[in-house]
Structure 1
Amino acid sequence: MPLRTPSSRPVAAAGSALALIAALGWTAGCGAPAADRTPGPAGTPSVDAAPLMQARPSTAPGDHDVSFVVNGTTTYGTLHIPQGPTNAMMPAALLLPGSGPTDRNGNQPPQLMPDTLADLARLMGDDGIMTLRYDKYATGRTGLGTYAGNPGGLDLNAFVQQATAAYQFLAAQPGADPQKLLIAGHSEGALIALEVDQNPKPAPAPAGLALLEPQDLRLLDLFTLQVDQQLDDALSAGQLDPTQATTAKSAVTNGVAAIRAGRPADTTGLPGPIATAFQNLNANLTFARTDDAVNPADLAAKVPSATKVMVTCGTADTQVPCSTTAPLVDALRTAGTGGPGLITLQDVTHLLQPAGSPATTNTLAPAAQQAIHTFDQLWH
């Protein structure tokens, strides 16, 4: 068969603000490198208080459409309130999607509809946990918001600020227990969860983090790992000869170096799927650099020791393989965080589905469901 795109996830148009990196299925966006981001007040999201108050739903069980305004953009989401005693305080979790144009339900319509976050909200609701999920920039009802005229202005910090505002909005909800605020992030959402954990104010710090198939290396390091594996597979299958494979790997190394230096990668002579991956990165150069500048393990090392953390690793996950998880897990252990820690999910994919599941599957694997229940039980 022909050399495939290193991810089975579909590729968004390169011109979109959240065009997928073909090799990872992760966002490529825009902005200054993370090292250049200004700490302190400049990194704090501007949340309009009046719209936030107006958007508070009733406390009745079920799904409620909500919205909040962050940095001039109205962000739309779903607040799920589980069944429970009237006026009871309950754990509350913010759910963060993976990369690319992934909406509040964990979908990329119309091609990819796994309902990852919708299923997560249902499971956590059954365990008595309130959840909030939302359409991030360039997805669903939220769209590009204030970035409509400048999609290239989106950088990692824009998404972190949006997630921080969502966390603050959740913390302000009636019934949300301030001592049991949680964040569950899938894939790139786990990286953003670690970012929010660093500065959630004025809301209390999260009591728990569920890092589900997390981005655990710098973006372009993981990109290189995946592309190299694809080239090795193509070589073994006779799709490339050794000279072609070596040349392509060298081009990948040079392309990554160019992007890290702020220049577009040269895609001349690269196999089609890999060229497409770099074209998506080039189209969203600044976001790629802001994301790549962050080492998830460095963030994990700063998680407060009182935090209870779960990390999942699916043995059938080809996008974030279990072989890359150790630095993140070790950093959490060094930080002194509590359990359940790393949970290895046998035959589970990146989308938390059973190995071999078709793209139309929208049911979480039993092992993934059990891991989520294990995390949820910590809060009751």
Structure 2
Amino acid sequence: MFLRPAAVVVALAVVTATPAAASTASVPAADREVVFTVDGTTTYGTLHVPAHRAGQRLPAALLLPGSGPTDRDGNQPPAAPNTLAQVADALGRDRVATLRFDKYGTGRTGLGAYRDHPEALDYPAFVRQAAAAYESLRDQPETDPRALAVVGHSEGAMTALLLGGTVHPRPTGLALLQPQAIRLLDLVALQLHGQIAEATRQGQLTPEQQRTMDAAVDAAVTALREHRPVDTADLPPVVAQLFLAFQGPSARFVDSDDAVYPPDHASALRPRTRVLLTCGTNDVQVPCSTTDALTTALHRAHVGGPGRVPLSGVDHLLHDADHPDTLAPAVLDALHRFAGR
């Protein structure tokens, strides 16, 4: 995916002709902190550089986290799945440099310029922050600006899709891992309907209560989109609190995120951009069916493979039953195929 054939030939020639010199010029793998500023906010990240020859330019990928206060490693304390840190390790084994960063509201970055007015933080601000991170990765001395990719998880995958059609230079590849592939409130409603149906199957709700709650969820989504007060009378307290938060401090973000329909942005990608889209068969947050329209849009945009890769037994955090704390083998294989090595 990342390396040009000529570069591979030259690299092989150097190693074959002067193995001793190549060995003495080797630079060991290392992490270092990267700092960049966007919209008045100092943003902190980690650049992982695999072992390489001195002066060598490496393929590189920007890593983008999922929704909520998810930091550079893919963690929302107290939960620490280290999703992005593990993705960085996996790509590093394929000699791909990576940059991951603390987005707004997380880690060392915090709220930055939005500290005194967090209600003003909207989704486009996160997209601009990601675009600034991409530029920072592009400008690192070890990275090849002609071999850049963006790898996003969940909401970060939607952001990756938006960057793919707007940043310069255009990325050579996008990895959309368990992506948010439909509008935000449609996804929230789908998740809630699933939870309500499961409660009914377990006998916690009657069919009549299920119909009432389902109707209340749909009405709440409509009210949010029409900027009307949400009627929470027929919603369980925890669901009512969610929708009230959507109309409260998070209103600007929710409204701007929900305005994005990911399939509409596939057409902006450069033809033959290498795209991986994964969906896990055990992912209750982003079921594979939610990626159908995006998959079709990517096909119409004439992007390259691997395309959509269903991951058997894999959940939203990229784990399976045998690997509850690490990336599932199917995920590692998909990332390896994406790296093209």
TM-score, normalised via structure 1 length: 0.80
Pick from 35, 42, 45 the counterpart of residue 74 of structure 1. Answer: 42
Match of residue 76 from structure 2: 108
Match of residue 158 from structure 2: 191
Structure 1, unpaired ranges of 5+: 1-58
What's the CA shift for 1:60? 6.2
Match of residue 272 from structure 2: 306
2-structure distance, mates of 1:232, 1:355: 24
Higher RCO structure (Cα 8 Å, ≥6 apart): 1
Equivalent AA in structure 2 for residue 298 of structure 1: D
1-structure distance, mates of 2:294, 2:257: 16
Per-residue CA deviations over 1:9-37 (Å, capped at 9, x if unaligned) read xxxxxxxxxxxxxxxxxxxxxxxxxxxxx
Match of residue 84 from structure 1: 52
SS in 1 for 2:131: helix
SS in 2 for 1:325: helix
2-structure distance, mates of 1:156, 1:70: 14
Structure with greater helix share of residues: 2
1-structure distance, mates of 2:206, 2:321: 30
Equivalent AA in structure 1 for residue 156 of structure 2: G
Equivalent AA in structure 2 for residue 324 of structure 1: T
**Contact 2:28/2:52 (8 A) holds in 1:** no
Match of residue 235 from structure 1: 200
Equivalent AA in structure 2 for residue 166 of structure 1: A
1-structure distance, mates of 2:157, 2:329: 21
1-structure distance, mates of 2:68, 2:229: 20
1-structure distance, mates of 2:286, 2:192: 12
Moved over 4 A (4+): none
Match of residue 309 from structure 2: 343
**Contact 1:164/1:196 (8 A) holds in 2:** yes
**Contact 1:183/1:208 (8 A) holds in 2:** yes
SS in 2 for 1:301: helix
Match of residue 180 from structure 1: 147
What's the CA shift for 1:277? 2.5
2-structure distance, mates of 1:92, 1:328: 25
Equivalent AA in structure 2 for residue 353 of structure 1: H
1:371 aligned onto 2:338: no
SS in 1 for 2:75: coil
Q: Residues 273 and 355 of structure 1: is their aligned pair in 2 closer, same or farther, counting only changes over 3 Å?
A: farther
SS in 2 for 1:133: strand
Match of residue 204 from structure 1: 169
Match of residue 21 from structure 1: none
Pick from 267, 292, 295 the counterpart of residue 258 of structure 2. Answer: 292
1:168 aligned onto 2:131: no
Per-residue CA deviations over 1:129-148 (Å, capped at 9, x if unaligned) read 01000000000010000000
What's the CA shift for 1:264? 4.1
SS in 2 for 1:162: helix
Pick from 225, 230, 239 the counterpart of residue 274 of structure 1. Answer: 239
Pick from 206, 212, 220 the counterpart of residue 247 of structure 1. Answer: 212
Match of residue 8 from structure 1: none
Structure 1 segment 121-160 matched on structure 2, within 5 A: 121-160=88-127
Indicate the structure (1 or 2) with the bigger Cα radius of gyration.
2
**Contact 2:33/2:45 (8 A) holds in 1:** yes
Match of residue 27 from structure 1: none
1:96 aligned onto 2:59: no
Give the stretch that moved more between structures: 263-272 or 124-133: 263-272
Q: CA RMSD in A?
A: 1.4
2-structure distance, mates of 1:273, 1:187: 23
SS in 2 for 1:69: strand
What's the CA shift for 1:206? 0.4
2-structure distance, mates of 1:173, 1:61: 15
1:216 aligned onto 2:181: yes
Match of residue 64 from structure 1: 32
Per-residue CA deviations over 1:61-105 (Å, capped at 9, x if unaligned) read 311011101010000000000001111111010000000100000
1-structure distance, mates of 2:231, 2:80: 33
Aligned residues: 314
**Contact 1:262/1:285 (8 A) holds in 2:** no
Percent identity of paired positions between Structure 1 and Structure 2: 51
What's the CA shift for 1:356? 7.9
**Contact 2:161/2:266 (8 A) holds in 1:** yes
